[in-house]
Amino acid sequence: MKDITPRLISLLKRGYCTPQIGRIAKQLAEPATTIHYNVKKLEKEGAVKSYKAVFNYKKIDEGFCCYVLINLSPDEYGNPERISADLAKHPEIESIDICTGDWELVLKVRTKDQDAYYNFIKNVISRKGVTKIKTLTSLKQIKTESVTI
């Protein structure tokens, strides 16, 4: 039997959802057509990037979560966007920020477990350009993607 779940999760993680006009209308006590108009306006302005699902990541084999703080070598330092665009392709990486302060890059990474994380670090992060890494491991997620768990 074909297992649809992984492909389904992969799509829902980044998009393939849509706002519930009727439910919003009821909640805000406004006509559905008014909500529709305003939602479309937000989309047209480019204010909305995507509609997506937030998961209980333990239940989709992504229970291990951590922040990866990265220092870049002098030659990558001037162009962090190149390495970032490359990293962005990896589905394990939930977010990538180019930062000021002690660290140039901050990643949020989700893997199945510590073993999978170790492999991820070995294969993806350990590369020329990265001079120093610090990992902050999440013991418990209280809030994620604006959703309180």
Please identify, using beta-carbon distances, which residue of 22 and 91 lies nearer to DNA.
Answer: 22
Please identify, using beta-carbon distances, which residue of 91 and 126 lies nearer to a copy of itself.
Answer: 91
Give the helix/strand (H/E) hosting 110: strand 105-111
Q: Among 42-50, 71-79, 111-119, 121-129, which window interacts with a copy of itself (CB under 8 A)? A: 42-50
Q: Which of 68, 70, 72, 93 binds a copy of itself (CB under 8 A)?
A: 93
| Alpha-carbon distances of 71 from 27, 74, 85, 130, rounded to whole Å | 46, 9, 16, 6
Q: Cα dihedral angle (71, 74, 78, 83), rounded to 10 degrees?
A: -50
Q: Which of 70, 96, 125, 130 binds a copy of itself (CB under 8 A)?
A: 96
Q: Among 35-43, 106-114, 126-134, 140-148, which window interacts with DNA (CB under 7 A)? A: 35-43
Tokens 């479309």 locate to 40
139 binds a copy of itself (CB under 8 A): yes
Q: Are strands 147-148 and 105-111 parallel, antiparallel or unpaired?
A: unpaired
